[in-house]
Amino acid sequence: MSWAIFGILVSLVSFGVAAYFYYWVKSLPTAEGSISEIGNLIRKGAFTFLSREYRILSIFVGVVSILMLIFFPQPLWKGNILTNLGMVIAYILGSVFSGLAGYIGISIATIANVKAASAAREGLAPSFMAGFRGGAVMGMAVVGTSLFGASILYIFTNDPNIVLAFSFGASSLALFAKAGGGIYTKTADIAADLIGKVELEIPEDDPRNPAVIADNVGDNVGDVAGMGADLFDSNIAAIAAAIVIALPLGQIDLLFCFASLGLLASIIGVLFSKVGENGDPNAALNRGTYITCGIFTVFTLAATLIFNLEFRLWVATIVGMVVGVIIGLTSDYFTGDDKKPVKYVAEASKSGPAFTILSGISYGLLSSLPSLAGIGAASLLAYKICEPLGEGYPVMGISMAAIGMLSIVGMIMSNDAYGPIVDNARGLAEMCGLGDQVLEITDQLDAAGNTSKAITKGFAIGAAGLTVIALLAAFREIVFEYTGELVSFDLMDPLVLFGALIGTVVPAVFSAMLMMGVNRNSQLMVDEIHRQFDTIEGLREGKEGVQPEYEKCIDIATVGAIKELIPAGLTSIIITLIIGFVGGVKAIGGFLSGNILSGLLLAMLMSNAGGLWDNAKKYIEAGNCGGKGSDAHKAAVIGDTVGDPFKDTAGPSINTQITVVSLVSSLAAVLFITYSLF
Amino acid sequence: MSWAIFGILVSLVSFGVAAYFYYWVKSLPTAEGSISEIGNLIRKGAFTFLSREYRILSIFVGVVSILMLIFFPQPLWKGNILTNLGMVIAYILGSVFSGLAGYIGISIATIANVKAASAAREGLAPSFMAGFRGGAVMGMAVVGTSLFGASILYIFTNDPNIVLAFSFGASSLALFAKAGGGIYTKTADIAADLIGKVELEIPEDDPRNPAVIADNVGDNVGDVAGMGADLFDSNIAAIAAAIVIALPLGQIDLLFCFASLGLLASIIGVLFSKVGENGDPNAALNRGTYITCGIFTVFTLAATLIFNLEFRLWVATIVGMVVGVIIGLTSDYFTGDDKKPVKYVAEASKSGPAFTILSGISYGLLSSLPSLAGIGAASLLAYKICEPLGEGYPVMGISMAAIGMLSIVGMIMSNDAYGPIVDNARGLAEMCGLGDQVLEITDQLDAAGNTSKAITKGFAIGAAGLTVIALLAAFREIVFEYTGELVSFDLMDPLVLFGALIGTVVPAVFSAMLMMGVNRNSQLMVDEIHRQFDTIEGLREGKEGVQPEYEKCIDIATVGAIKELIPAGLTSIIITLIIGFVGGVKAIGGFLSGNILSGLLLAMLMSNAGGLWDNAKKYIEAGNCGGKGSDAHKAAVIGDTVGDPFKDTAGPSINTQITVVSLVSSLAAVLFITYSLF
């Protein structure tokens, strides 16, 4: 139990660092002029969305709580009301913590954007620090909260099911937050781009564009709050799966030790991340990641040797971490603007948009190879390395590889939240006319944010892959504990196969629903923008004092996203329950596997193709292949628009979707055993 | 053995019908004017491609033959040279028969196109009959040959391995024929459309367009020869898998009985397919399919009762057939121009091409749900229905469901080959100026061809899905025979999981390579067309007597397709061998499963999204959403261009790719057992 207490201590330190950064950022000076006003509009829009989203989600949490109280892990008439009540409390805690993570993220991000824009007047370094430390508040808070929650629940209950319920709370909320935020941000982004760049040919973030504030709100609710909830959920799910597996082996200490040291390494990495006055922000972000990896390796090795922990489990953990870095680097290859794919797609765009789309999708499909091979190799290696330790250990090895891959999640999250903050800062600089020099700096910071975003997304998807494999093992462990039988998910068993076929489809259906949602809403918003340009006199010409009705667009994005997020999220949960009650645990085993396989494939395809199109467009805008305004550029803008919901709505939501169905399956395992049709 | 002889008899009848139709079509009158000349150009282009393709492929077959002689099923120094020699002969026979099927298809299709165009002067009915009976030559020849080959090899050797080698010959050739033909046809189609419809705004098939002959050649080598090789391969693979499984159960007779009755039902269905003077060609095609299903049901039921065959196996067979029809109907829903998806995508196109793409991909992803659920349900039902019969029977049930789904393949193939023939007829009518009335009729026939093509593609993919599941079972059976151990493909086994992750990626990589090939080649062809318009005086204006250099475009398509087909095909085979030699049979089990799951998903996505875009474009051209020339139309053309390689190159090649790797695995099973690393 001592190492779980260590986990609590480290998470308290991370809260301290988060608080320090929060006040550090807040104390930075704000530029004169309209920036406070527009900053407030963004802040208000973000909180309006968040509160409406949370209102809906609290109803959802309420309904699920009642269902859990009655049915989970066993129906009340068969089990014990106290067990069920414990599950419910843990579930509610998980969702509240997850909501809190989103709330903190929005709070700081909507301050840091103004500060980063203001600081850009003094140069790149101060602006970078404002953006990065703002992101780090999120990173520290999210990882600290998840470790804190898992440690404290484990110390008090010693029951892995409770941690699973906590994790389910976190990830069911993350599913909706990611889906809702993703729909919101892309609805606004696409509508703003279509009208601004394509129809009117005015710059991005031009204040005449009625969708421009909604677009900036979207960066916050989609990328900051959504991604925060997502990584919170991945992290906690990895820990929960590891607890289930480690408990019978008596390896809980090692787990909490490594998880805590990961957070500690991230804290140190974040504290020492800096960029020189003429330094490269991209290099600074990457350097931070590598330093964190190094510290984590040294710390865990030292702990293993000093406290005589299982050496092979340490190796498995480091394998996971290394593969995570490799997956991140391949994502960088497929999306980096100095690499072949981006140049090829930009070149192909000269022949028209169809070639932009076809070559982007082709590269996206190819990009799944290194990632899935990496995940396969990591799990195979981790398994084989730990095989000599005896039964149970090989699977624990896979689980620790997931922990290893997520070890540096604090750093990753900080890098990730940095992106939308500087993106917002860029928007503010443009809208408030802070001058060309400021725009240049924020552009540079923004570009670095895009690259690091692609890398961290690859990382997040890879980690989710290993985590759900561990969750599948945890599911089997739960079934074993209840039935005493080690069930086999043999693909030649027709129930497993049936489940696998349906499971394969779920991520496809889920992402289709999200993309359709974006489609529908951005068409609505485009109509609204046309209406404003047609009816508000002087808006098109940019007449002094004439302002668009920003709130109307914010409202469309908010209402639309709220309406779409529930069906998309619920569908996957309901299909899981149907498969479980029809085909039982074997079908669920296949179902989860199919889900993992196609989910990883689609997630890599969408994230990387989306990132690729975005950067191909930027590459052309930098003056290549005809430059801005050329036919190639128009084609690339279309590619980017297709890529928007790919990379920011559907793609990154898929890993949350996989995690949620895995957790639902584990929680409902006993029900499936008892009541399934086959 | 008696029923295998019955199989030979029925296939002889089908050859007779094919010969009758061949001469019937050939004896139809040909219109005056340039039609013979242009028809000959197309015919020459198709045969040129075919002979160059076959020359390359014969080298491939030669190399594989030598490798097989040395290594398959066991290395020479361990096994028996006669066994290996038998395998080689069967392999060569399979590839020769497959090549022959393509050759016959091209021979008749390049006659029937001219005849159908000529007959259209007399009305819809005669033109339909020319197209349909031309297609039926292909249908009868392909299915007859596959049944003939399987029956005769089985009678003479009684060795399922020999039939597997025959099947491998057929499908490795099909892989290249499908990939090569698919690249060829879309290279020409895209280039012709981009220049013709988008840049110059001249009608489809305008004789000024240098790519127009290549486009028509493409219909033949891609859709006729490619699809023929594909269905030949699916059919033979289903029979081969069923033989492996049925042999230990003593159920070979039932298998040959049902397979033969399927061909017989198709013969009757084809003979009675007619359309009235003002009839609907679409209804005629569908009616033929349903009649064939009905006859097959009655015949097999009668045979089951009279010859006292296993009733439950009959039910499993019919389940397969019914699910095939259901999958076909859902494909029709997602691609039919009177259904919601097509209308929605057409409507979305008004907001720009990005929405065309996004909504099309979304529907494509959704369309995988009914198909995969259908395949899952069919295999689960077939398994459960046959479970009471004892061990081995449940898997035989799945295998018979595949046979059931493919029972009417003779009819399906006839419908399918009808499509490119009337498409070509339309092109000839336009190029040779046969008048508006003829164009109207061929347009109507062409539209019916498009719908039936979508349905049959759904059918083909579904059947391939069940077949490869049966092949997976056959693979396990072969391993069992050699090792005496019934290996389990448990997804919690890290080798299986590793294989599954890599297997998931293979169809993605394969289709990406094909699409990149189309991309590259059509850009080359576009450049060539620009060159011709720039240098040949009077071409753009359509000056009397000025002709484009058609051969140049034909040459680009031919050379390009030949260059691309080998790497794409080889990659999947080589990855299979690597996985097998690294991870052994367990990894292969996972590998094949991953392949099936993601392959089915991607195949449905690509086929249906492609068909949907094509029909959305046609729907707009019919005067909806702004009609021809509107922004919506331009967006839909871009969607259609993206859809072209989706639906005609990558999508339908995936099932061949899955079949090939399954067969390679079965053939190399003993090698994997003996020499694998893990």
ipTM of the assembly? 0.93
Tell me the pLDDT tens digit for each residue of B161-196.
Answer: 899 999 999 988 888 888 888 999 999 988 888 887
Chain B positions in Cβ-Cβ contact with residue A504 (cut-off 8 Å): 368, 372, 597-598, 600-601
Contact B501 A372 (CB under 8 A): yes
- Smallest CA–CA separation between A515 and chain B, in Å? 7
Contact list, B490 vs chain A (CB under 8 Å): 488-490
How many residues are recorded in chain A? 678
Q: Are B560 and B521 in contact (CB under 8 A)?
A: yes
Interface contact B365-A512, CB threshold 8 A: yes
CB-nearest partner of B601 from A194, A496, A504: A504
Q: Which residue of B has its CA nearest to A495?
A: B380
Residue pair A402/A238 in contact by the 8 Å Cβ criterion: yes
**Contact state of A502 with B372 under an 8 Å Cβ cutoff:** yes
For residue A298, what are its two tokens? 């040294």
Nearest C-alpha of chain A: how many angstroms from B204? 18
pLDDT number for residue B205 = 77
As given in the structure block, the two tokens for residue B230 are 């594909």
Domain that holds residue B219: 2-675
Interface of B with A in 396-435 (CB under 8 A): 398
pLDDT of residue B19: 95
CB A384 within 8 A of CB B494: yes
Q: Number of residue pairs across A and B with CB atoms under 8 Å?
A: 226
Q: pLDDT value at position B676?
A: 87
pLDDT at B409: 85
Give B3-45 as a DSSP string.
Answer: HHHHHHHHHHHHHHHHHHHHHHHHTS---STTHHHHHHHHHHH
* Helix H or strand E encompassing A530: helix A494-535
Preferred mutation among A515, A597, A641 to probe B, highest tally of B CBs within 10 A: A597
Contact between A179 and A564 under an 8 Å Cβ cutoff? The reply is yes
**Residue A235 is encoded by which pair of tokens?**
């992290």
**Closest approach of A600 to chain B, Cα-based (Å):** 9
Cα dist. B69→B170, B213, B577, B585 in Å?
17, 42, 17, 22
Secondary structure letter of residue A490 according to DSSP: B
The Cα–Cα gap between B655 and B86 comes to: 27
Over residues B359-412, the pLDDT tens digits come to 999 999 999 999 999 999 999 999 999 999 998 899 999 999 999 988 888 888
Residue range B253-265: mean pLDDT, rounded? 94
Q: Are A233 and A171 in contact (CB under 8 A)?
A: yes
CB A385 within 8 A of CB A315: yes
Please count the residues of chain B: 678
Predicted TM-score (pTM) above 0.80: yes
Hey, are the CB atoms on A348 and B490 less than 8 Å from each other? no
B523·A348 Cβ contact <8 A: yes
- Across the interface, whether the CB atoms of A472 and B491 are under 8 A apart is answered yes
Cβ–Cβ contacts within 10 Å for residue B274, how many?
Answer: 13
Residue A298: closest CA among A284, A318, A312: A318
A523/B355 CB distance under 8 A: yes
Interface test with B, best of A189, A319, A358, A678 (most B CBs within 10 A): A358
Closest CA to B331 of B459, B245, B235: B459
Chain A residues 627-666 with CB within 8 Å of chain B: 638, 641-642, 645
Alpha-carbon distance B382 to nearest alpha carbon in chain A (angstroms): 9
8 Å CB contact between B401 and B241: no
> What is the identity of the amino acid at B371?
S
Q: Which positions in chain A touch B590 (Cβ < 8 Å)? A: 491
pLDDT of the residue at A178? 85
3-state SS, residue A526: helix
For A490, list phi and psi in degrees, rounded to 5: -80, 125
Using CB atoms, pick whichever of A362, A498, A523 lies closest to residue B516. A362
Residue B276 pLDDT grade (very low, low, confident, very high; cuts 50, 70, 90): confident
The per-residue pLDDT for B349 is: 93
Express as a percent the part of chain B with pLDDT over 90. 52
Structural contact between residues B536 and B546, judged by C-beta atoms closer than 8 angstroms: yes
CA closest to B604 among chain A residues:
A505
Give chain A positions within 8 Å (CB) of B358.
515, 518-519, 642, 645
Give the 3-state secondary structure of A537-549: CCCCCCCCCCCCC
Under a CB-based contact definition with an 8 Å cutoff, are residues A225 and A181 in contact?
A: yes
CA distance B309 to chain A (A): 24
Phi/psi-derived region of residue A658, left when phi > 0, alpha when psi is between -120 and 50, beta in every other case: alpha
- d(CA A588, CA A671) in angstroms, rounded, equals 12
Sort out which chain A residues have CB atoms less than 8 A from B472's CB and list them. 491-492
Residues of A within 8 A of B492 (CB-CB) are 395, 472-473, 476, 488-489, 589
Q: List Cβ neighbours of A409 (8 Å cut-off, separation of 6 or more).
A: A139, A143, A231, A234, A235, A262, A266, A463
d(CA A444, CA A580): 50
**With helix as H, strand as E and coil as C, how does B407-446 read?**
CCHHHHHHHHHHHHHHHHHHHHHHHCCCCHHHHHHHHHHH
Q: For B490, phi and psi rounded to 5 degrees?
A: -80, 125
Residues 6+ apart with CB under 8 A from A634: A198, A353
Å between A520 CA and nearest CA of chain B = 9
- Per-residue pLDDT, A78: 84
pLDDT at B1 over 80: no
Instruction: Output the CA–CA distances (angstroms, integers) from residue B424 to A97, B119, B196, B443, in the order listed.
Output: 64, 13, 17, 11
How many whole angstroms separate alpha carbon A179 and alpha carbon A230? Answer: 10
Q: According to DSSP H, which parts of B274-310 are helical?
A: 281-306
Q: Which of A505, A564, A631 to mutate to test the interface with B (most CBs of B within 10 A)?
A: A505
Q: How far is CA B145 from CA A212, B149, B264, B369, in A?
A: 65, 6, 13, 34
CB B333 within 8 A of CB B341: yes
Which of helix, strand or coil describes residue A1?
Answer: coil
Window 349-388 of B: residues touching A by CB (8 A cutoff) are 351-355, 357-359, 361-363, 365-366, 368-369, 372-373, 375-377, 379-380, 383-384
Contacts of A375 in chain B (CB under 8 A): 501
| pLDDT tens by residue, B589-611 | 999 999 999 999 999 999 999 99
Closest Cα partner for B461 from B499, B496, B507, B505?
A: B507
CA torsion B447-B451-B454-B455 (nearest 10°) is -150
Considering only CB atoms, B593 lies closest to which of A377, A500, A515, namely: A500
| Cβ contact A169:A92 at 8 Å | yes
**A366 → chain B, closest CA residue:** B509
**Taking each helix axis from N to C terminus, what angle separates B353-386 and B631-645, rounded to the nearest 10 degrees?**
40
Give me the number of domains chain B comprises. 1
Nearest Cα neighbor of A210 from A423, A432, A527, A433 is: A527
Confirm if B154 and B252 have CB atoms less than 8 A apart.
yes
User: What crossing angle do the helices spanning B550-621 and B353-386 adopt, rounded to 10°?
Assistant: 90
pLDDT band at B74 (very low <50, low <70, confident <90, very high): confident
pLDDT at B277 over 80: no
Q: According to the model, what pLDDT value does residue B95 have?
A: 94
Tell me the C-alpha distance between A104 and B244, whole Å: 62
- Using the Cα atoms of residue A228, residue A229, residue A235 and residue A236 in order, give the sign of their dihedral: positive
- Tokens describing residue B299: 């015949």
* Cβ pair B519:A491 closer than 8 A: no
3-state secondary structure of A624: coil
Q: How far is A40 from chain B (nearest CA, A)?
A: 32
> Which of A198, A366, A491 shows the shortest C-beta gap to B509?
A366
Per-residue model confidence as pLDDT tens digits over B539-565: 888 788 888 888 888 889 888 888 888
Which residues 287-316 of chain A have a CB within 8 Å of chain B? none
pLDDT score, position A546: 84
Q: B504–A641: do the CB atoms touch at under 8 Å?
A: no
Is the bond preceding residue A73 a cis peptide, omega within 30 degrees?
yes
Q: In this complex, do B358 and A518 lie within 8 Å of one another by their Cβ atoms? A: yes
The position carrying tokens 């009609």 is B627
- Please tell me whether residue B490 adopts helix, strand or coil conformation: strand
- Choose among A357, A372, A490: nearest Cβ to B505: A372
Out of B351, B469, B605, closest to residue A526 by CB = B351
Residues of chain A under the 50 pLDDT cut: none
Among B361, B519, B601, beta carbon nearest to A598: B601
Say yes or no: A320 contacts chain B, CB-CB below 8 A: no
